[in-house]
Structure 1
Amino acid sequence: MRFRMAAMWCWMAWFGCKAALAAEQHSAACTRLPADSKLQQFQGFPIRAIRVHSEDVFDLNADKVYWFHHLANRTHKITKPDTILEDVLFQVGDPLDAEALLETERLLRTRRYLRKVEVRVTEHCTDGSVSVTIHTWDNWSLLPNISLSREGGESKTVLGLAEDNLFGTGNQINLDYENDSERQSYLVNFRSPNLFGSHWNLNTLYADKTDGESYLLALEKPFYRLHAPWAFAFHLEADSENVNEYLRGDEINEYQRNLDLLQLSSGWKVAEAERWVQRISLGIEQHQVQFDTTEYTDYGKPEDRDLSQFWFSWHFVEADYRQLYNVYQFNRVEDINLGWQASVQLGWFQPWLGAERSGWSLQTQLDKAWQLSPTDLLIAQFRATQLQQGELEQRLASSYAMWIHQLDEHQSLVGQLTYAYGQDLFRDQRLSLGGDTGLRAYPLYYQTGERLALATAEYRYYSTLSIAQIFDVGYAAFADWGRTWGSNPALPEDSAGQSLYGIGLGVRLLSSHSSRGTMIHIDLTKALHDQGELSGLEWRILAKRRF
């Protein structure tokens, strides 16, 4: 018996040594690949290993490193490898699919907590297998949210704190305080972009406002990749707030709007090819909006509406992505899809769901981008909706185009055109110009109407200046023109009909190592007419996601 036990132990030891030696030899038979190796040349090769290599927020070997860079790295929780792997669209043992690696890279780039992502084949072994390395660079994710602006005599302040990578898990939580001419509000929001690696999203929100409250609970599994087989969404929202109506930027009427919304939908892939997919979706929603007067209601309130409906939609998505620079931001890779994207949704209003009257709605949209030359990019969008319910016949069609001409790697010219045509729009959803809607020299809602035209021209300069690895600096000079048509019959005067012009100069500070990718806009603007308080220069400081 002892002899048998000894023999068994010797055999196991010999086998273990042989296995270890074989593993060592197998590892030694792998060749390290150069960084510029093409994914396509390894198409179909089995994946033997997936490695994650994560970099901290700041490069401490760079020039001009200060004490706060060291402190930031020491106090930052690097994204956990498991968090990265939860978004990976391939597994060990799968045949390598170059498109799956590129899709994984694009998906990871949408995560705010990552500044840069590279997915590469890094080893090729003699048995024909390959190793894939996911190299990521973290963003600083604990951020203040500060926005101060003044437009047309009105000020707006936003103060808050956000954590976009809670304990390295990719979950987000933020607290905000906002104060403007309409309300003060306190907000808390928690969002998980990928629950337990299942590609389900969770979003919860509560806001306490001086004029009401807001609640949101949303659970969704989107079409997270081109060929995802199905999607699901549950959305529950309640919102109560006061809405102001304006006449040339001045508040002249107020009413309270109460929204209750419950949506449930599911979608399926029905046809596909290598670079495109068709999907259909079914949905049901209860959608009720009620209005109440306040002590400042001088010109009445809109009529209540109930748009509860059952709907069916069709979507077409073509994937033709390019990695471009200086489109919406600067100094960052941007994934721009040059493929066609189209959708049609047909809904039927149902009294058994709560709708006041039967009817139907139609929504269509079309998106396309063209790289006209190595230095020219054209992006176009079209939207159209039609709603028929009882005597209400509502229509809205809008088009948008942006042309970007790169003068060189540091300069570009950008032109944007927007046109929208509406009929019988809801009173609280009329088209408006001013402030963030495009006319930067004018206050919000300076003009409102049922038709709108807007044109902007901008010169952009992307400098090489970096302020302590905190801000990348850009500059802009711009000119805006716009006008609306169609008066509001409920108000005593007409704010539409006059063409508005404005010019300005701006500085753009891109928080290059922050998870929000926030761009601070510091603008000095001039409205080109001399009407009262708009006759002088106006300044504003805003935090935005785009240049």
Structure 2
Amino acid sequence: MFCSHHFFRCLPLACLIGLLLLLVEVCQAQQATPPLQQDSTLTDTTKQKFDDRVMENLRQMSERKTIMGKLLKAVLVFDRGGEEVYGLDAELIEKEYEKHTYKIVRRIDFMGMKPFGYSVHDTTKAPKNFFEKAGNSLHMRTGRGLIRNKLLFEKDAPLEPLALVESERLLRQTRYILDARIIVNEETTTEDSVDVFVITRDIFSLGGSGSLDPSSGRGRITLRELNFLGQGHQVEGSYRFGITTRPRPWEAAGYYTIENIGRTYITADMAYVDKNFYKEKSVLLRREFFSTNTRYAGALGVNWIEQRIMLAPTSEDTIARYANLGYNQQDVWLGRSFRFKSYNLGYEPRSRLILGLRFTRTDYSIKPSDSFQDNTLVMGSLGYSIRKYYKDRYLFGFGRTEDIPTGTLLSLTTGYEEGDLRDRKYFGASVSMAKYQTDFGYLYGKASYGSFVRDSQWEQGVLQLETLYFTKLSEWGNWKLRQFFWGRGTWGINRNPEELLSINDESGLRGFRSTLLRGSRRVALNYEANLYTPFSLFGFKLATVVFADFAWLSSQSESSPFKGAPYRGYGVGLRFRNEYLSFSTIQFSLSYYPQLPINEEIKAFRIFNTSRPYYDFQDFQFTRPGVADFY
């Protein structure tokens, strides 16, 4: 679907005005509705819920023969009954089927559902209207073999602890699966065997987006297929054209992923990016610690990258200064997980001890300074991980089942870099943990430090602190509220001049864009409140968003980023989400920035749109040994 930039800029304002007019109409409808005749002997003391009153008034308005009535009848869905969801009592997922541990799997049955009109919690539901049926006719259902390859249990084999719930979680985390349930048939279960039923529901995997500015001829088109021919292959391509502010008027990028090749859980990623200031060709084979029971993980990859990096700005600069960087990198790593011995036959301990070894070779073809050297880096890590999962809803989705990771992850990393100019050692440490309770919410915290050491001098060091908290879900009928608090701090220690931090978008202030505002120490605080409404618009559920962002930034010469006043951003937004589509989330936001850099022309008000959540969970799976990130 193609839209002009002017349309995208005006749509949020139009939506806000439309909602205000709609609320006025609802209030007028409430006032105009005559009171019901009450029986003299009976008094109804039950008060109708607010959202029920609103929906009933909207239903009455939709029956009127007016333009507003016809519009409401066309776009609103009034018979959206609440779907009963099981297993969301916030118990540890492992407790659901622990009584079936080590029984023989006698039979596995599969039910694969197309995206529209079906439910994994009520298998009697079916598509009703033309649009649901038409959408399903364009979708190819995920192959049964692809689903079977995700399962951690097999027919005629003992059922290992955690196998059922971990398999269900892995299916839900797959990009082309919307939701999944794995059920034990209790009616046919015996003392030594079980029958298992696997139910999955697909996402409508074909999607895309685009934009066009008729005045300049500038535009963009993106197409993606997350489940090509139902075999799990993921293809995405994008093309930009009509660019007048770059040396070349077009840019292109393509990505291809083959997931879980032959039930080895090895994934192949390929990328080709040809932009004006960034070029990449890369191939990567990877296998992660996808499950608690995974013993081996690793990766093998190679990439060629050319990019333009920003040089350290001075206070007098009014335009940014850049330099070119080009390099080729070969990367290989291997990890091994060891489980602790358990003397309880029906219990699988979640804790693991992990060892990792990584080898990286980097050759620079373009160097902006001597800070970059051809090098060989060998790194080793020792980690301790405890991974647990809970189930909940209305976190990043609009009602679908979501898995909340909790646990602890400790890691120690050491390495040695041999370069053509200098040699140096590396030391790093990281600790993270998270807790979840239904009456409290979710709390996550992380602290990490890493630095190179050369001739007793610590260089390119970074200290990072992070915390994420979201409240429990507050409910008023079909209206639901969840609040998020996110804090991050990054302190660079003796960093290279080309290594700079910003506070743009995900780094600090959402929607904010500055070219010259850079530093080596940053602190960001973010708040967001999401109000989920019972309204549905063309299959897209609606939520309202209110947010406030604060960010402090300082240069390397300053000891603390808190010496100056923080940069701030305040905003409101509308979020539309259709769980069944690959491009599921659309959010339009209006933001205000009261403090701006004095040497840049940046607008205090900005309307912007995004298609991904601002927050995300950090899983507690061990990853490859590496240098601490600084971005």
What does residue 104 of structure 2 align with? 46
Q: 2:338 aligns with which of 270, 289, 293?
A: 270
Q: 1:215 aligns with which of 263, 281, 293?
A: 281
2 CA distance for matches of 1:216 and 1:83?
A: 26
1 CA distance for matches of 2:146 and 2:565?
A: 53
Q: 2:505 aligns with which of 435, 438, 458?
A: 435
Instruction: Give the partner amino acid of 1:528.
Output: P
* Cα distance per residue 1:8-29 (max 9 Å; x no partner): xxxxxxxxxxxxxxxxxxxxxx
What does residue 234 of structure 2 align with? 172
What does residue 10 of structure 1 align with? none
Q: How does 1:461-472 map to 2 (within 5 A)?
A: 461-469=531-539, 471-472=540-541
Which is further off, 433-442 or 336-345?
433-442
Q: 1:284 aligns with which of 359, 362, 369?
A: 359
What does residue 402 of structure 1 align with? 468
2 CA distance for matches of 1:396 and 1:57?
A: 45
1 CA distance for matches of 2:439 and 2:375?
A: 46
Task: Check 1:244–1:110 CA distance in 2 against 1; reply closer, same or farther (3 A cut).
Answer: same
Instruction: Give the partner amino acid of 1:121.
Output: V
Instruction: Give the partner amino acid of 1:397.
Output: L
**2:488 matched to 1:418?**
yes
**2:430 matched to 1:365?**
yes
Identity of aligned residues (%): 19
2 CA distance for matches of 1:237 and 1:437?
A: 25
Secondary structure of the structure 1 residue equivalent to 2:232: coil
Q: How does 1:442-521 map to 2 (within 5 A)?
A: 442-445=512-515, 447-469=517-539, 471-486=540-555, 497-515=564-582, 518-521=584-587
- Is contact 2:438-2:472 (8 Å) kept? no
Q: Quote how far apart the aligned CAs of 1:209 are.
A: 1.9
Which is further off, 118-127 or 207-216?
118-127
What does residue 332 of structure 1 align with? 400
2 CA distance for matches of 1:148 and 1:481?
A: 33
2 CA distance for matches of 1:251 and 1:317?
A: 46
- Is contact 2:571-2:589 (8 Å) kept? yes
Q: Quote how far apart the aligned CAs of 1:172 are.
A: 0.6
Task: Check 1:443–1:86 CA distance in 2 against 1; reply closer, same or farther (3 A cut).
Answer: same
Secondary structure of the structure 1 residue equivalent to 2:529: strand
What does residue 7 of structure 2 align with? none
Secondary structure of the structure 2 residue equivalent to 1:58: coil
2 CA distance for matches of 1:110 and 1:69?
A: 24
- Is contact 1:441-1:503 (8 Å) kept? no
Task: Check 1:327–1:538 CA distance in 2 against 1; reply closer, same or farther (3 A cut).
Answer: same
Secondary structure of the structure 1 residue equivalent to 2:99: helix
- Is contact 1:387-1:395 (8 Å) kept? yes
Q: Quote how far apart the aligned CAs of 1:145 are.
A: 3.9
Q: Quote how far apart the aligned CAs of 1:38 are.
A: 4.4
Q: 2:173 aligns with which of 69, 92, 110?
A: 110
- Is contact 1:302-1:428 (8 Å) kept? no
Task: Check 1:414–1:126 CA distance in 2 against 1; reply closer, same or farther (3 A cut).
Answer: closer
2 CA distance for matches of 1:365 and 1:125?
A: 48
What does residue 122 of structure 1 align with? 185
1 CA distance for matches of 2:164 and 2:318?
A: 53
1 CA distance for matches of 2:416 and 2:557?
A: 29
2 CA distance for matches of 1:107 and 1:483?
A: 38
Q: Quote how far apart the aligned CAs of 1:291 are.
A: 4.3
1 CA distance for matches of 2:410 and 2:556?
A: 33
- Is contact 1:520-1:543 (8 Å) kept? yes
Secondary structure of the structure 2 residue equivalent to 1:427: coil
What does residue 132 of structure 2 align with? 69
Q: Quote how far apart the aligned CAs of 1:134 are.
A: 0.9
Q: Quote how far apart the aligned CAs of 1:395 are.
A: 1.3
2 CA distance for matches of 1:388 and 1:290?
A: 25
Instruction: Give the partner amino acid of 1:521.
Output: Q
2 CA distance for matches of 1:169 and 1:529?
A: 50
Task: Check 1:318–1:38 CA distance in 2 against 1; reply closer, same or farther (3 A cut).
Answer: closer
1 CA distance for matches of 2:319 and 2:365?
A: 21
Q: Which runs of 5+ in 2 are unaligned?
A: 1-85, 88-94, 119-123, 342-348, 616-631
Q: Quote how far apart the aligned CAs of 1:399 are.
A: 0.8
Task: Check 1:368–1:147 CA distance in 2 against 1; reply closer, same or farther (3 A cut).
Answer: farther
Count of residues in Structure 1 that have an aligned counterpart in Structure 2: 491
Secondary structure of the structure 1 residue equivalent to 2:150: coil
TM-score by length of 2: 0.71
Secondary structure of the structure 1 residue equivalent to 2:321: strand
Task: Check 1:145–1:290 CA distance in 2 against 1; reply closer, same or farther (3 A cut).
Answer: farther
Task: Check 1:92–1:511 CA distance in 2 against 1; reply closer, same or farther (3 A cut).
Answer: same
2 CA distance for matches of 1:521 and 1:488?
A: 39
Q: In proportion to residue count, which structure has more strand?
A: 1
Task: Check 1:185–1:367 CA distance in 2 against 1; reply closer, same or farther (3 A cut).
Answer: farther
* Cα distance per residue 1:24-67 (max 9 Å; x no partner): xxxxxxxxxxx879422323322101111111110179799553
- Is contact 2:189-2:195 (8 Å) kept? no
Runs (4+) off by over 6 Å: 60-64, 179-183, 246-250
What does residue 606 of structure 2 align with? 538
Task: Check 1:365–1:211 CA distance in 2 against 1; reply closer, same or farther (3 A cut).
Answer: same
1 CA distance for matches of 2:614 and 2:219?
A: 19
- Is contact 1:146-1:543 (8 Å) kept? no
- Is contact 1:216-1:238 (8 Å) kept? yes
Task: Check 1:497–1:228 CA distance in 2 against 1; reply closer, same or farther (3 A cut).
Answer: same
Instruction: Give the partner amino acid of 2:227.
Output: N
Task: Check 1:250–1:204 CA distance in 2 against 1; reply closer, same or farther (3 A cut).
Answer: farther
Secondary structure of the structure 2 residue equivalent to 1:85: helix
Instruction: Give the partner amino acid of 1:189.
Output: Y
Quote the RMSD (CA, aligned, Å): 3.1
Secondary structure of the structure 2 residue equivalent to 1:199: coil
Q: Quote how far apart the aligned CAs of 1:266 are.
A: 1.2
What does residue 412 of structure 2 align with? 344
Which is further off, 177-186 or 533-542?
177-186
Task: Check 1:313–1:45 CA distance in 2 against 1; reply closer, same or farther (3 A cut).
Answer: same
Task: Check 1:447–1:279 CA distance in 2 against 1; reply closer, same or farther (3 A cut).
Answer: same
Task: Check 1:250–1:223 CA distance in 2 against 1; reply closer, same or farther (3 A cut).
Answer: farther
Task: Check 1:46–1:83 CA distance in 2 against 1; reply closer, same or farther (3 A cut).
Answer: same
Q: Quote how far apart the aligned CAs of 1:487 are.
A: 5.5
2 CA distance for matches of 1:438 and 1:329?
A: 23
Task: Check 1:399–1:146 CA distance in 2 against 1; reply closer, same or farther (3 A cut).
Answer: farther
